[in-house]
Structure 1
């Protein structure tokens, strides 16, 4: 609430009762007593319905209370009384933005700025709306303008940090968050966002400390809890990490995926004879990694129904002890308990020492595998057979960090004595034999991989599939790895046959490719010698 929003009409004709209510409302708002402030502003508006400041301030408080519809009505009444009321334009923009009407919100902020170019809040909010529309460069300029107008504007510093972090300017982003915290040490969002930068830089202990600080300030912050889980799991602190990971169902980017089953979630308690639905979540790789727990549940006397994406159904039917495998979208049989697949490590109390790493736990169809053995032999190409995959699904927000372009693969191609084939689902390389268009599902791909000696891949479902089949996997990984690959390791406790080649610096694929090329050359030399 800025100076204009605090101001009441103090002319002698202003009723003293109105002035008292207005002053009480402002004091309550500044003390964070929003319900009290709303009540006092309502009384002020009742005494003077034609007072634009009172209407605008009531709208501001109501929006803070989550009553967006009535807040918008108050702002529109204020603007009917005073069309140049910049704060009403700004608050109405916030109402519209929260309702997903971003273009309409932009218009409100721009009207406020057109009336008052020095309106720092409107510049900041314009940046928020632009960033939501993907206009990060324009948003950055708005945040900088807001800070120039009000250097102690902690929220604008935090928002500028977000924009810089999104464009991977991590050091500058960290500086913005630190400035926001200097101005407001109890700023939970800035602590959490600084934690994200530290996480990107692989300072995981420091990141976890920031997330904990954010949680201390705001215990119900699902995003802070979720991000703390990522930092803990990446450090191998699995017991606490799994507990914090359950907050994912309240985090904005995962909450919409939650299944509204009325059946209780199974958390590892004895339930012999009951039917347990284990339902996949998130990506193919997650399902391939955590489906290993389904047979473990069956050994505890549960009748296990497994629901997975359709391309995985045929492959996962080979898991032992599973009563039935259902494709996502098909009708489910009756069940007593349910568990999201990635909550199973928590249910089983998994630690680094107790990860169920027996391999292989998935198997290719023998007849299909034999067919591929014959087809590969018919090519007449000698030497170890190496499958290559270089990119994942572009829908993954990290895909630009984990995937390679075909040109970057040149040092891995043409090494004498190797039989290299493509395992890339989308995209081809003319130099490689490519049968991926024949693959209808993961069972088909498993049969081909079964006949290879090595799989070289970036962090995609192919890495999980090949490792679950017990094949040798060399995985090319980004500088800041996904939590499951753990920090500072070249091996994986999840997959004994997997070796990690990690970027020494963000974006440095050249060093990774050079190391893989050297090892492939040694593999070819050893094969010829044998």
Structure 2
């Protein structure tokens, strides 16, 4: 007991090595001494040696499993080692022994968040707050979990409560700015970031969030500077690299942009949605003749349509190419030359290499001069196109397809605010209605289908909007219908990409904070020579866009 007390005193005085030597001497005499093992674990943890800490604490708990503190500190060590499932078990054991242990409740929430069990994490932080209502960190981490669930209004309230307890906390202010930006309140977000950076000018995560918000306000020079400042402070900050990539790409700086875009795989959003196949990654350096390669869709349907153009180029290098895509695209993409197409979810075939689809522009050193060379690269099935030709009958007016609402990715709450900014309502798109044009809805999914059912007769009171929702089972059906139209007018979504990939004239209604692929100050698209871009002159201003489209549609009708 005397040696143990001496070791504790030495540890408290910061004399870790002396304490450790004394404990090791004690353990030679009594190898199963739980308190000595536990203290040895604490010493290792305080020195950052979490592997040893976890090992010593595990041995201590074998001999004395009744120590809530021991279970808690073992959990913390496992947390530092990234073993969050094991850490959670240890936190739960500590809480079984001592249900009111605030730190165990709080830190269990951190591991639940790391395991992407965000709803449970919120519940854990709520229980921690019940134990300590003044804990700013519990409110802060609760807010982070709520943000990951896309519950940004609640997230904002949580940050406000954290700031009540700790008003000059730079990370909380920075995250509050992110939450406001996700709600589309970009101008309100800026003072949060600016105040956070006054408090801590050297906080890389806050700088990166600030830069991302500046992008949404189309302040690209400032956005790029913010990301570069963040990277000077933290060179491996993946989010800053990814945000920087999008600024570089929107400005047409492909040489740096594609390279920086590869950092997406180290961001939580992309890492969570990607299941590695275990195959060797193709970087363009390895010869492909006589080899097989699996190309894999990675993001949205529109992204797959835009970048599948590279699959035949890979086949042209002598490779056997297997392209894994979302199921609604399989039939359509089978028109690609020299490519075997399989649906995501099917068993992956053997292959020598794999490559994510959106890494191919960088591999092929794509630049602005070569983008349109492969267009058109998708075509409608001839039999299906003939079916629609017969079904639509004689053409007595120009035919225009419409899409006003893009797809919704439930697993990407970070994209929900972009969805809200890029979509428009049936009421707004109905302002394009004119008697000398036959309109066709190319919409699939909610809320557009409900809008049509519930308000179509009211908002589009004539008989010149044909709706074939049930007949458009997948994208090959949509392509066959588009083949029989003269023009597609669409928000920035997959159908716009489909029309462009087919070489069909397409007018894209583009939000002010444009996606990087549409560049700046462009009314055309190097990706799709048949596309015309109509960009909002200011955030949320669809009226100006639709006024311009209405005028151009009148000219289109007259010339058709």
Q: TM-score of the superposition, structure 2-length normalised?
A: 0.79
Q: 2:443 maps to which residue?
A: 424
Deviation at 1:303, TM superposition (A): 3.2
SS in 1 for 2:303: helix
Deviation at 1:262, TM superposition (A): 2.0
Distance 1:313 1:147, change over 3 A: closer
State how far apart, in whole Å, the 1-side matches of 2:112 and 2:15 are: 24
Distance 1:24 1:87, change over 3 A: farther
1:175 to 191, 197, 201: 191
Distance 1:165 1:33, change over 3 A: farther
Distance 1:114 1:387, change over 3 A: closer
Deviation at 1:85, TM superposition (A): 5.8
Deviation at 1:260, TM superposition (A): 1.6
State how far apart, in whole Å, the 2-side matches of 1:126 and 1:15 are: 39
C-alpha distance after superposition, 1:496-521 (max 9, x if no partner): 11001111222221111111111111
1:392 to 406, 412, 430: 406
CA RMSD of aligned residues (A): 3.7
CA contact (8 A) 1:229 1:242 kept: yes
State how far apart, in whole Å, the 2-side matches of 1:175 and 1:368 are: 55
State how far apart, in whole Å, the 1-side matches of 2:127 and 2:305 are: 52
What are the residue-to-residue correspondences of 1:186-265 with 2, within 5 Å?
186-255=202-271, 256-265=273-282
State how far apart, in whole Å, the 1-side matches of 2:9 and 2:364 are: 63
Distance 1:434 1:502, change over 3 A: same
What are the residue-to-residue correspondences of 1:258-273 with 2, within 5 Å?
258-267=275-284, 269-273=286-290
State how far apart, in whole Å, the 2-side matches of 1:488 and 1:268 are: 35
Q: 1:148 maps to which residue?
A: 164
Q: 2:495 maps to which residue?
A: 462
What are the residue-to-residue correspondences of 1:264-343 with 2, within 5 Å?
264-267=281-284, 269-320=286-337, 322-331=338-347, 334-343=350-359
1:500 to 525, 530, 533: 533
2:553 to 520, 524, 527: 520
Deviation at 1:191, TM superposition (A): 1.2
CA contact (8 A) 2:487 2:504 kept: yes
Deviation at 1:406, TM superposition (A): 0.8
Deviation at 1:333, TM superposition (A): 5.1
Structure 1 gap ranges (5+)? 1-13
Deviation at 1:392, TM superposition (A): 1.5
Deviation at 1:78, TM superposition (A): 7.8
State how far apart, in whole Å, the 2-side matches of 1:202 and 1:269 are: 39
State how far apart, in whole Å, the 2-side matches of 1:172 and 1:230 are: 23
State how far apart, in whole Å, the 1-side matches of 2:75 and 2:444 are: 52
Deviation at 1:97, TM superposition (A): 4.5
CA contact (8 A) 2:441 2:466 kept: yes
CA contact (8 A) 2:380 2:480 kept: yes
CA contact (8 A) 2:50 2:81 kept: no
2:504 aligned with 1:471: yes
SS in 2 for 1:276: strand
SS in 2 for 1:456: strand
2:483 aligned with 1:450: yes
State how far apart, in whole Å, the 2-side matches of 1:489 and 1:25 are: 65
C-alpha distance after superposition, 1:50-87 (max 9, x if no partner): 99999977866764454657766887798799876655
Greater shift, 264-273 or 437-446, is seen at 264-273
Deviation at 1:187, TM superposition (A): 1.5
Deviation at 1:133, TM superposition (A): 4.8
Q: 1:480 maps to which residue?
A: 513
State how far apart, in whole Å, the 1-side matches of 2:383 and 2:117 are: 56
Greater shift, 165-174 or 135-144, is seen at 135-144
Greater shift, 438-447 or 230-239, is seen at 438-447
Deviation at 1:234, TM superposition (A): 1.3
1:368 to 357, 374, 384: 384
Greater shift, 175-184 or 71-80, is seen at 71-80
Q: TM-score of the superposition, structure 1-length normalised?
A: 0.83
Greater shift, 151-160 or 190-199, is seen at 151-160
2:426 aligned with 1:406: yes
Structure 2 gap ranges (5+)? 17-41, 410-414, 458-462
Distance 1:111 1:459, change over 3 A: closer
C-alpha distance after superposition, 1:187-228 (max 9, x if no partner): 221111111101111122322222233333333332222222
Greater shift, 116-125 or 281-290, is seen at 116-125
